[in-house]
Amino acid sequence: MYDAIIVGAGPAGMTAALYLLRSGKTVLLLESDSFGGQIASAPNVENYPGIPHMDGSDFADKLLTQVTDFGADIDVTRVGGINKMNGFFEVITENGPVASKTVIIAVGVSHRTLGIPGEEKYFGKGISFCAVCDGPFYKGKTAVVVGGGNSAVQEAIYLSDICESVHLVHRRDTFRAETSLVECAKNKSNIFIHTDSVISEFFGDNKLNSMVLLNKKTSEKTNVVCDVLFEAIGRVPENKIFSDIIDLDSDGYVISDENCNTSCPGIFVAGDCRQKSVRQLTTAVADGSAAALAAIDYLK
């Protein structure tokens, strides 16, 4: 019987583990993929306070070492759900059920991708999912943003103040984004809007350097030389397996309060998988500490 089981070993989950372990609690950390989450694939991180430059994978490795040195148990396995028992929780995993007094869900999100052949080759090598995180690396260069919602248009506007030029690509003839945002983008002289268009091909050796845009109405192809592509076509939270025990919003994110409490007492949430407006490394570690402190208070 653990004091806490943490599902997901990204920055949020491992920060939660650190706080719990330092409070003398027993912790089991469950991870089905790679430790560190999305930050582990970031070659250069410049927006973490106090550390001007750091490698994302190095940060993840150090955090993992820190929590294991404090005594965290780790199991690489996939979680299938959580059962509420009489006074504790049973977490169902591929390796069998495990019991705990509290559970912290920190499974993160996965980014929707375009599904274009060869796309994966350029992840972290010219394809990014966060303009706020990576935009400053492309100052004075050419960026492409794909998507039609508020996030995509906001990213294009943000990048227009950093990059020499920005191409905004949307597969439909009208945007889902708010009219005011679309008008703002249209008024930016260095934002070039391509509607009814999709990306059909990528080019580049070790790094993305150009792509082909296909106009779905005219079949016209346009080659765009660029330095980076930001994909802003949505995120998918990994919370469906928990929907029978905690409340999710219409987009599948966990509903929680400021202290990361969910609708089920004893289950907490941290990181990108919870309902919130900002998803950054700093907010992930903040959630991890808040969820852990809430769990510690619950255990009292």
Residues 6+ apart with CB under 8 A from 87: 101
For the chain, the maximum distance between any two Cα atoms, rounded to a whole number of angstroms, is 66
From 130, 226, 260, 273, active-site residue: 130
Q: Find the catalytic residue in 3, 134, 227, 287.
A: 134
Closest-CA residue to 295 (of 7, 31, 65, 76)? 7
> Distance (Å, rounded) from C-alpha 168 to C-alpha 190?
10
Task: Quickly list DSSP for 157-172.
Answer: HHHHTTSSEEEEE-SS
How is residue 255 annotated by DSSP? P
- Choice among 133, 163, 226, 273 that is catalytic: 133
Pick from 33, 23, 3: nearest CA to 70: 23
Hey, is 274 helix, strand or coil?
Answer: strand
Based on the residue annotation, tell me whether 130 is a catalytic residue of this protein. yes
Residues taking part in catalysis: 130, 133-134
